[in-house]
Chains A and B, each alone.
Chain A
Amino acid sequence: MIGQVVGHYRVTEKIGEGGMGVVYRAFDEVLHRDVALKVVKKDAGLDPAASQNLLNEARASSSLAHPNICTIYEVAETDGELYIVMELVEGKTLRALRGDVGVPPESVLRYGTQIAAALCRAHDRGIIHRDLKSANVVVTSSGLVKVLDFGLAKRAGSTILEGPTTTFASTQDVSTISGTLHYMAPEILRGEPADSRSDLWALGIVLYEAACGKLPFSGRTGFEISSGIMRELPATLGPPVPPSLWAVIQRCLAKEPAERYQRASEVQAALEAIQWGATISANPAPDSGAMQTTVVHGVKHARIKRGDFVLLVGTTKGAFILRSNAQRTRWEVGGPYFHGNVVYAMAYDNRAGRRRIWASTCNYWGTLLRFSDDFGKSWTNPQESPIRFPADAGVSLKNIWQITPGRADEPNVLYCGVEPAALFESRDAGETWSLVRGLFDHPHRPRWLPGNGGLALHTVVLDPSNHQRMYVAISSGGVYRTTDGGLTWTAQNRGIRAMFLPNKNPEFGQCVHKIAMHPSHPERLFLQNHWGLYRSDDYGENWKDIANGVPSDFGFAMIIHPRIPEHVYIIPVESDQFRCSCDGRLRVYRTRNGGGSWEPLMRGLPQKLAYETVLRDCLVADSFDPVGIYFGTRSGQLFGSRDEGRTWGKVLDGLPSITCVRTAYVDGSSGEAGPTLTRPVSTNSSPDKSPSSRSRSQSKKSRSSAKPPTKRR
C-alpha cells in the first residue's frame, strides 16, 4: 500500500490497524496536507448493503465539526474497497496512555469531559458512535482529546445499520468483535439496538480504565466478558479516584439504560463540576456512597442505658423515644426527631448485639430509611435512598410502611413493606436493599387498588419455624404467602370478604388491615380486615369469621399476647365511614379463646366523647410478666396497661398524630433474655415489638404525666 495513490491521497506509512481496517498516513496531493486514510477491510463483515450504509453514515458523521472529534474529510470507494479520509491526529491513544495503572484523576476528568463533549455533539446530531473505546481516543501533546472512528457511527432512530448491529450483537465469535466486546453495553448484548446511552456505557468503561488501568469487565472468553457486563458490578475504585468521579462512572455503568445519565451533556457537566470542585472549592464534595450521619442537636434525648424499657413512637410530625424501666411508671421523652417528617414505621433490632432503632421518614424531599445506634443522638442520613425501585419498575417509592427485622437466626435479614405495594429485602443488615421481584411481578399486582391510605404493603409476617414461608398483607390486595423464600407468591384470601367489591369473595383484592401470628403456632393466623375479623388454622389457606361479640368488626390494629397464643387484642372502630372508637368509648377488645368470644378492656380509658382512631401499627405489647400493652391514637395520646389490659393509664398526650408504636428492651450485648423473666417473643408482624424483659434502673426525670396504674393483678 505504501507509495500507492488512492484517489488523490498518496499513502506514506502505515500507522495502525483495527478491527475494521488499516490506517495509513497519506498526503493529500490537492490540499497539500497530511491526512489519515483508513481502508476498510474487505473481510470486516460488511456485505455490500452494509458497506453502502457505512458509506452513508460516515458521510453523515463527516458533518460533525467539533474540536474533540476527528474530522472526516472524505469517504469513498475504489476498486471495491471503502476508504475513509480523516484528520491526522498526532498523539497517543488513551489506551496507550493509561497503561496498566491508569492516569491521574485530574487527567481522567479532563479527558472524560472532552470525550463527553464529543458524544454530546454527535448525539445532538442523531449520531451514535457505537465503538467508543480507549483505543479510539487520541490525546495530543497539548492535552486535546480527539475521538476517532465516528465512521462506524449509527444515526439514531434510523434503522439502516441495524444489519451490522445485529451481527455484532448476536455473534459469539469474539474475534470478529475483538476490542469492542469489552465496551458493549448490556442492552447490545441482549440484542437490543444501541442508542446514545450505549455510548455513555462505553464512556463509563473508558473512564474506568483511564482511572485505574484496568477494564471493569474482563475474562478469558467472550462468554466470561459478556457475563460480567450483564451481571457483575465493577470493582470499586478507591483513592486516588475521588468518590465523586467514581459515582459518575458508576452511573454510566448502570446495567439499565434508564438508570444511566440520559444525555452526554449530563456526564460532561458532572465531570466539569468535579474538575471545578476539585480545583476551586475549599470544601470538597462529601464522599458519595458513604453513610452520612446526622447528629441531632437542640433536641432532648432520653438517656437510655442497659435495662431500660423503651417505647418508639412515630407520628405525623416526627419520632419520639420514651424511656422507662421495668416499672414502666415514669417516662422520659426524647425527641422530636425528624421535625416535620411523617414517621410511618419504626423498629428495634437487637439481633447480633445491635441496639439499632430503624425509622422511615417522609417529607417533601422523599422517603428515607434511617437508623440510629445510639438511641437517637445521631441518625444515618444516606446520600442516596437505600430503598429504590429499579428503572424498569416504572414507579417510585412513596412511603415505607413497615420495617421488619428478619428471624432471630438470620440477623442480617430485614424486610420493608412499602407504598406503592412492594416488598424490599436486605441480606446485609440494611446496607443494601432489593425489590422482591416475585411479588412485584405478580400478575395480580396491576389489579390491586389503593385503600384510603394508599396502595401499601404494610405487614410482613415471618414463620419462625420455616425460613421459606412468609406472609404479607396489602391494602387493597389481600394476604399473599410465599413458601419458597419469596420467589413465588399466592393469594391466600379464601373466606375473607371484600365488602366494597361487587364480588364479595374474590381471590384477591381484599383490604386487609393487619395479620398476626404467634411464633409457637405458625399455622394459625389472625386477621383484622376492612370489615371482618378472621382466623386461619391452616397457614392462611382458609379463613373463618371470629367476630363474636365485638361492637364492630372494623378496625386496624391487632396483636397477640407474647406468651399466650389464644389471647388476641384489637381496637374496633365504628365503621369505614366513621373511623372512630364505637360510641365515643375507647375500648380495647381481647379474646382469650382464639376468637371464640371477645371482652372489652376499658378501665382507665375515656368512656365519654372519646372519638379516637388507633392505626394499624399503633398497638403493641411488651413481654414483661404480666404483659404491658400500649397504643397510640391519631389525637396524639399514648395509653398503657401494665396488667395485660385490665387497667389503663395515659403514658403521654399532646403528641402529633401517632402513626406507629414499637417497644424495645435494652438488654446486654447478646440480645438474650434476662434471667428472671421470659424470652422475648413476637406479638405481631415483626419481632421488634416484643423485647425481652429485664430491668435495673430507675428513670430520674419524668417528662410526662405518665401514671399507669401501679396495681398488678
Chain B
Amino acid sequence: MPVTFHIPGALREFTAGRRTVELAMSPATLADALSALYALYPGVRDRVVTEQGQVREHINLFVGDENIRYTGGLATPLPPNSEISIVPAVSGG
C-alpha cells in the first residue's frame, strides 16, 4: 500500500532530516506521489523539478530499479508498495 521515498542527503534538510518518507496512500502515478511529497516538504519540489515542472537534467528518479526516463516520466504508474529514489546523476568534474 504505502509509497516510500528515499531522500538523498542533500534534500534531508527539507524533509525534517528523514532519509525515507513513507506515504500512507496509494498514488496512481509518480506525479501524484511527488505532489504528496511536495505538500509535506515543499522545499523538495524546486530541487527535483524546474519551475516548468520538468525533472532537472542531472536528477534521476527511480521507481524500484527503473529510471523513470524510460517508463513514462512523471506519468509512470506506481504499483503498490513502490519505492521511489531521488538520485543526482553521476557526472561533473
Contacts and interface: CB of A to CB of B under 8 A. Distances in A.
Given A244-B40, A262-B53, A397-B50, A272 B13 contact: no
26 contacts: A244-B39, A247-B42, A265-B28, A265-B32, A266-B32, A269-B27, A269-B32, A269-B35, A269-B39, A270-B35, A270-B36, A270-B38, A273-B37, A274-B39, A285-B42, A286-B14, A286-B16, A292-B14, A364-B58, A365-B59, A366-B47, A381-B13, A381-B43, A383-B42, A384-B43, A388-B46
Contact of B51 (A289, A383, A396): A396
Nearest to B48: A365
B39 A271 contact: yes
B23 A364 contact: no
A268 B11 CA distance: 24
Most buried by A among B18, B24, B48, B52: B52
A445 B88 CA distance: 32
Contacts of B27: 265, 269
Nearest to A275: B25
A366 B25 contact: no
A44 interface: no
Interface stretch (A10-18, A276-284, A500-508, A687-695): A276-284
A267 B47 contact: no
B56 A364 contact: yes
Contact of B42 (A244, A265, A388, A397): A244
B16 A283 contact: yes
A292 B41 CA distance: 12
A275 B32 CA distance: 15
A391 B35 CA distance: 18
A294 interface: yes
A276 B24 contact: yes
A397 B39 contact: no
Contacts of B58: 364
Contacts of A286: 14, 16, 41-43
A365 B52 CA distance: 14
A281 B20 CA distance: 12
A490 interface: no
A43 B46 CA distance: 49
Interface of B: 10-11, 13-14, 16-18, 23-25, 27-29, 31-33, 35-43, 45-48, 50-54, 56, 58-59, 88-89
Contact of B40 (A258, A274, A395): A274
Contacts of A262: 31, 53
Given A364-B88, A388-B51, A277 B45 contact: no
B51 A364 contact: no
A269 B36 contact: yes
B26 to A, nearest CB: 10
A281 B33 CA distance: 17
Contacts of A272: 25, 36
Given A265-B27, A286-B42, 20 more contacts: A243-B42, A244-B40, A244-B42, A258-B53, A266-B32, A266-B35, A269-B39, A273-B23, A277-B40, A281-B40, A285-B41, A286-B16, A286-B41, A288-B42, A364-B59, A365-B10, A365-B56, A365-B59, A365-B88, A391-B52
Contact of A266 (B31, B42, B50): B31
Contact of B29 (A258, A265, A270): A265
A51 B56 CA distance: 48
A396 B31 contact: no
A295 to B, nearest CB: 11
Contacts of A366: 46-47, 50, 56
A261 B59 contact: no
Contacts of B36: 269-270, 272-273
Contact of B39 (A285, A289, A292, A365): A285
Nearest to B24: A276
B42 A385 contact: no
What 9 A-B pairs come out closest when comparing CB atoms?
Answer: A273-B36, A270-B39, A396-B50, A383-B43, A266-B35, A388-B51, A283-B16, A288-B42, A365-B47
Nearest to B33: A269
A292 B54 CA distance: 24
A3 B18 CA distance: 64
B39 A247 contact: yes
A658 to B, nearest CB: 16
A291 to B, nearest CB: 11
A385 B35 contact: no
Nearest to B14: A383
A270 B38 CA distance: 7
Given A248-B39, A384-B45, A385-B46, A394 B52 contact: yes
A73 interface: no
Given A385-B46, A389-B52, A364 B39 contact: no
A634 to B, nearest CB: 13
A636 to B, nearest CB: 14
A292 B37 contact: no
A276 B58 CA distance: 31
Most buried by A among B24, B51, B89: B51
Interface string A370-386: 00000000000101110
Nearest to A264: B32
A246 to B, nearest CB: 10
A285 B40 contact: yes
A271 B36 CA distance: 7
A263 interface: yes
A280 B21 CA distance: 12
A280 B31 CA distance: 22
A638 B68 CA distance: 44
Contacts of B32: 263, 265-266, 268-269
Contacts of B43: 286, 292, 381, 383-384
A238 to B, nearest CB: 16
A78 B38 CA distance: 51
Nearest to A242: B39
A384 B52 contact: no
Contacts of A280: 24
Contacts of A385: 46, 51
Nearest to A283: B16
Interface in A472-505: none
A280 B24 CA distance: 9
A272 B58 CA distance: 29
Contacts of A266: 31-32, 35
A268 B42 CA distance: 16
Contacts of A384: 42-43, 45-46
A365 B89 CA distance: 10
